[in-house]
Amino acid sequence: MPKWRNEYRRCDNCRSVVTARLHPLRAGGRAGYAYSVILDGKLLVERCRDPECDAARALLAMGHTGKLVLCDGKTGKPRTIIDIERAAKLSTEEGPHGPRFVKHRTVVDRASSLEEALPGTEAA
């Protein structure tokens, strides 16, 4: 069985294994938990509800490819292993039978106001 450490190899234009720690934060109410992801002692993603995909997008923007190993923040045990490039294209959302993966939509893809969502309407 491999021993996991909070280390990673930084590699330009090659696939590598990146190890980060996942810390749950209580969001309260029906929202459930939010998570922060710590990489090499620095905050990578803060207060997100989709830490795997959000961390993958952040790492891809930094030039990382390969696998991301998310370890438990307290115990250091691996909890999730994902492919950075594939997970960066996805988001999770609640479906009729539980959570599911869907294609990631950027903020530009979403209507930011009622006027944009309903063409032909004007602001009052």
Q: Is residue 4 part of a domain?
A: no
Closest CA to 44 of 13, 70, 78, 75: 70
Q: Is residue 107 part of a domain?
A: no
Q: Is residue 58 part of a domain?
A: yes
Residue-number span of the structural domain to which 42 is assigned: 15-89
Q: Is residue 105 part of a domain?
A: no
pLDDT by residue (tens digit) across 52-97?
Answer: 999 999 999 999 999 999 999 999 999 999 999 999 999 988 889 9
Confidence (pTM): 0.71
| φ and ψ at residue 85, rounded to 5 degrees | -65, -40
